[in-house]
């Protein structure tokens, strides 16, 4: 079968890949809509997960089931499904402990285009299909739905980790597609004032639509100072980090009230250390909690979050700046993510 793959670090291309086979619990799915992710760019051009050869890329898909293993009960060929980016081993000790994304080892719940071929193929393999596919409800466009595998739950997980609730004043750092979902998630989880840190005009416009009440442009000065000015020196209740780098935590700690929380969902690609400023962290006693994690994945999250699209509480279409029709356009879509033209938020390819 055909697949769009990482040939090696720094190189992508179309390959003839082996069609996947379903074990007893698994499913084979063909994609209906696909979206490339910044993680794909990191994988190929930053070597983020190390060298890989001829590995089919992609982990954001909705599709149609074409085959299921004999132990699969809840899905059958022809079913339209949401496929989470993270597909845990649900019986693993880490899953039983509440962290399925780390089943079998830290981050090992992430399998697509990491431990096996991803979703940018004519077919792809899903482990533990009953637990890792979600039924796609009627009434949701597949382009909108393809934001459910990663953008929505990752952006929202930052909100969960920061424990945003009624009336919180929150800073969201980063307004790429994940950060925008964090902004939307804050608004949908009770935040009052939402200060979004970013500068690209198209993203700023969408951030406001999703509920940002203030935009903080790092090009206009130190973001900590701007936040402290806006809050009359008090700082904020929560910070969701969905962009930036290892130094962003220094800023986040400094803008946070004692008792505040950081929720990070940003992949940190470089730097030896995340640095926490000792004095602003209350010399180790300020109750500024730092939580950071990969979205959990799995069927339960997919089906629950889909209800927000069904009930129109969340409109993911605002993210979709570039729409392609035809599998062959996945290459173009991925290169857009790499090149990040000014008008890009997120491309989507329907098949």
Q: How far is the CB of 264 from its own copies (least distance, A)?
A: 5
φ, ψ at 124 (rounded to 5°): -145, 165
Binding to its own copies (CB under 8 A) within 146-185 occurs at 156, 160, 165-169, 185
Task: Work out whether 271 is an interface residue with its own copies (CB under 8 A).
Answer: yes
Token reading at 94 = 């880490």
Listed ranges 171-179, 219-227, 263-271, 326-334: which one lies at the site for its own copies (CB under 8 A):
263-271
Beta bridge partners of 287: none
Listed ranges 20-28, 116-124, 139-147, 215-223: which one lies at the site for its own copies (CB under 8 A):
20-28
Size of the site for its own copies (CB under 8 A): 91
Q: Is 218 exposed, middle or buried (0-12, 13-18, 19+ CB in 10 A)?
A: middle
Task: Work out whether 259 is an interface residue with its own copies (CB under 8 A).
Answer: yes
Cα atoms in the 13 Å half-sphere on the side-chain side of 180: 27
Q: How far is the CB of 100 from its own copies (least distance, A)?
A: 7
Binding to its own copies (CB under 8 A) within 69-98 occurs at 71, 90-98
- Going from the C-alpha of 320 to that of each of 113, 202, 234, 315, the distances in angstroms are 23, 11, 36, 10
Task: Work out whether 139 is an interface residue with its own copies (CB under 8 A).
Answer: no
The single residue among 231, 266, 316, 350 that binds its own copies, judged by CB under 8 A, is 266
Cα atoms in the 13 Å half-sphere on the side-chain side of 121: 27
Binding to its own copies (CB under 8 A) within 317-336 occurs at none
Task: Work out whether 107 is an interface residue with its own copies (CB under 8 A).
Answer: yes
Q: Give the 3-state secondary structure of residue 126.
A: strand
Task: Work out whether 315 is an interface residue with its own copies (CB under 8 A).
Answer: no
Task: Specify the residue, 116 or 189, whose C-beta has the smaller distance to its own copies.
Answer: 189
Task: Work out whether 298 is an interface residue with its own copies (CB under 8 A).
Answer: yes
Task: Work out whether 227 is an interface residue with its own copies (CB under 8 A).
Answer: no
Task: Work out whether 121 is an interface residue with its own copies (CB under 8 A).
Answer: no
Which helix or strand (DSSP H or E) is residue 94 part of? helix 93-96
Q: How far is the CB of 38 from its own copies (least distance, A)?
A: 13
Task: Work out whether 10 is an interface residue with its own copies (CB under 8 A).
Answer: no
Token reading at 193 = 């004032």
Token reading at 295 = 């979205």
Report which of 299, 339, 277, 279 is spatially closest to residue 148, judged by C-alpha positions: 299
């Amino acid at each position: 079968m055909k697949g769009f793959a990482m040939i090696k670090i720094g190189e992508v291309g179309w390959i003839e890949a082996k069609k996947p086979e379903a074990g007893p619990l698994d499913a084979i799915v063909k994609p209906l809509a696909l979206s490339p992710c910044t993680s794909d760019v990191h994988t190929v051009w930053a070597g983020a997960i190390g060298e890989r050869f001829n590995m089919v890329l992609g982990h954001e898909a909705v599709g149609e089931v074409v085959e299921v293993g004999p132990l699969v009960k809840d899905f059958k060929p022809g079913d339209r499904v949401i496929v989470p980016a993270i597909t845990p081993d649900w019986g693993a000790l880490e899953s039983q402990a509440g962290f399925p994304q780390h089943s079998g080892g830290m981050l090992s719940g992430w399998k697509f285009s990491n431990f096996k071929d991803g979703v940018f193929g004519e077919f792809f393999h899903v482990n533990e299909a009953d637990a890792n596919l979600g039924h796609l409800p009627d009434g949701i466009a597949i382009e909108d739905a393809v934001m459910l595998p990663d953008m929505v739950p990752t952006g929202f997980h930052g909100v969960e980790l920061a424990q945003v609730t009624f009336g919180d004043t929150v800073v969201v750092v980063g307004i790429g597609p994940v950060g925008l979902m964090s902004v939307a998630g804050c608004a949908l989880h009770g935040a009052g004032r939402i200060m979004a840190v970013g500068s690209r005009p198209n993203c700023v416009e969408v951030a406001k639509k999703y509920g940002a009440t203030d935009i903080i442009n790092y090009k206009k000065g130190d973001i900590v100072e701007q936040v402290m000015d806006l809050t009359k020196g008090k700082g904020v209740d929560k910070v969701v980090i969905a962009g930036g780098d290892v130094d962003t935590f220094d800023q986040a700690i400094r803008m946070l009230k004692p008792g505040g929380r950081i929720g990070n969902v940003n992949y940190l690609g470089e730097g030896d250390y995340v640095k926490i400023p000792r004095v602003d962290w209350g010399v180790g006693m300020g109750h500024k909690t730092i939580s950071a994690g990969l979205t959990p994945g799995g069927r339960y999250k997919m089906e629950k979050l889909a209800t927000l699209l069904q009930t129109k509480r969340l409109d993911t279409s605002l993210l979709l700046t570039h729409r392609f029709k035809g599998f062959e356009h996945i290459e173009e879509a991925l290169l857009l993510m790499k090149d990040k033209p000014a008008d890009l938020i997120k491309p989507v390819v329907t098949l």
